[in-house]
Structure 1
């Protein structure tokens, strides 16, 4: 596979108006006649073995590309129709339009794809229940290893939440601040693009510190006693859960936070906490060591970039 030619197209809507028109007319994400012609030209001028579609909202492309008689592989990052149903319940009118838009694209990709990849068995089963077809391969989120040595760790004590200000993270951290944080002594540090919006509501105090985007998460992860992920909405795997494992962290999270991650407690890499009392009790009993080798080993064996690449290469070659 490393000797083969790969042609990439990065697709996105150029403007809000362009995105809205694609939604209204049922075109796939990033579609335009110019984009389609460029893809068509690449297919006609090159010997292409298969098309890899890296998002189900691009599903509409599958129906127009299928006539080229090339194998189509799609990667479902989420079951988008569920994602937008959850988002519409808390975040406005446009997401109600996105529910139908997602369903339209996902129906097409399920119909025309030769192979389907999902992140989790949960998503595969949901795909089956909605569209009548399950995944051909389950491959979890894999991320590049950014772990560095543990030298020069500060003696500060805190726990960490990392995530941008999208609806599920905002819901999760507000729930945690209200129901858990007042009853524990450990300081909480929140980091994520756009998370500054919480400062106006909560401020900065002795038990809570809020940051927006930071250039390097490494020192924050390495200095944390443990990591939390109290997310309650959404689908698919949670990248930040895998990231915490990469840094060798104990994770306390909801069942949703560990979607696609089997036996987290058996591997002694984290604990499932769905209720406030469960979070509080586990936090009180943690030994707050800053590095957990079992978390790190679990990442290397199941979620490293090398693991994911090898699994995908075997699948595409079959």
Structure 2
């Protein structure tokens, strides 16, 4: 089957446009780059914004209510879309609509693949959710019935093969990506521009953390920065400014930031390109949650040095990062700060191997190669 004749019926079960989180952006970019290479018809919810700037075709089919997760919700509409565009494959983001994907696959006689953004049951277990065993049984059912699973990290692929008994032949690693395919330019100009807008000192190293901050693992990371990282930086007499970006930070943490020197909360960052070019080092003190930490990949793509906990670096290939990734054991904050102090003295230089592995265009091509191989 040639690439131009591939036609994908994709299912993303929640609002992704406008993309307001790394998870949303990962879905949007994946389908944008797939849409550049073949037909990608993405079925999602009615509350999505326009997709005019993307290469996939958006079909607003599902209601923006929980009832969309009832098996076979809008089944007939999806069958019609698949037949109209001669779908050859089904691509499902997350396991939640697996029964519907199975039914579509049987009806249309085409294979279905599932994109696992995390091991969801393990993520919920780490949050202390009592119902995580139910999620584990459901997730295992979904993966074992798919024709292929796209895991986001090598570690999660190994976990799935061991714990869910997923066949190696249908287990693939498809990471989160970057829109950049080469080193970006313009760091100094961006830093001066943002310094003018914020009043921050451009002579100091700018350390940053960025994410959806009402998501508990990210909220916890901000707490670690305030309570564990900053006191140790001050002990070491490090010169720095810390920038916290993202929506949803609690009023309690906002108040703590207002009372603390050398740290600023910027809220939602509307122009990420300028922000990412301007900053020097990404802090990634994340302990909880699963999957790849999307903001770390984003930072590395912008040639930032990332200082991370072990958990925060899971799924990232150190060999592809050169000297741009420093990893400390979880909760070893002295080692974490030692990494920061080394990072601020280092000129970043991400190797081309990073873009070879993480450029969205290359990732999309890998998926199509898997589809064509059957």
Q: TM-score, normalised by structure 1?
A: 0.84
Select the residue among 172, 176, 186 that pairs with 1:141. Answer: 176
Moved more, 185-194 or 54-63: 54-63
Q: How far off its partner does 1:81 sit?
A: 0.7
Which of the residues 185, 188, 207 maps onto 2:242?
Answer: 188
1:210 to 248, 265, 282: 265
Distance in 1 (CA, whole Å) between partners of 2:115 and 2:265 is 34
Greater percentage in strand: 2
Verify the 8 A CA contact 1:196 1:210 in the aligned structure 2. no
In 2: Cα distance, 1:230 partner to 1:118 partner: 23
8 Å contact 2:89–2:110 — kept in the other structure? Answer: yes
CA distance in 1, matches of 2:73, 2:160: 31
Correspondent of 1:72 among 112, 121, 129:
112
In structure 2, the residue corresponding to 1:232 is in which secondary structure? coil
| d(CA) in 2 for partners of 1:242, 1:169 | 16
Displacement, 1:139? 1.6
User: Is it true that 1:294 corresponds to 2:350 in the alignment?
Assistant: yes
The aligned residue for residue 89 of structure 2 is 50
Is the partner of 1:82 in helix, strand or coil? helix
**Structure 1: 5+ residue runs without aligned partners?**
23-28, 90-94
CA shift in 2, pair 1:305/1:43, >3 Å: closer
**What is the correspondence of 1:1-318 to structure 2 with a 5 Å cutoff?**
1-4=3-6, 5-11=39-45, 14=63, 18-19=65-66, 30-31=69-70, 35-68=74-107, 69-87=109-127, 89=128, 95-97=129-131, 99=132, 102-134=135-167, 136-145=171-180, 147-152=184-189, 153-154=191-192, 155-157=202-204, 158-165=206-213, 166-184=215-233, 185=238, 186-195=240-249, 197=251, 198-263=253-318, 267-274=322-329, 275-288=332-345, 292-294=348-350, 297-318=352-373
Provide the aligned length of Structure 1 versus Structure 2. 299
Q: 1:272, 1:171 → 2: CA distance?
A: 18
Q: 1:209 to 1:2 in 2, by over 3 A?
A: farther
Give the match for residue 25 of structure 1. Answer: none
Q: Under a length normalisation based on structure 2, what TM-score does the superposition of the two structures give?
A: 0.72
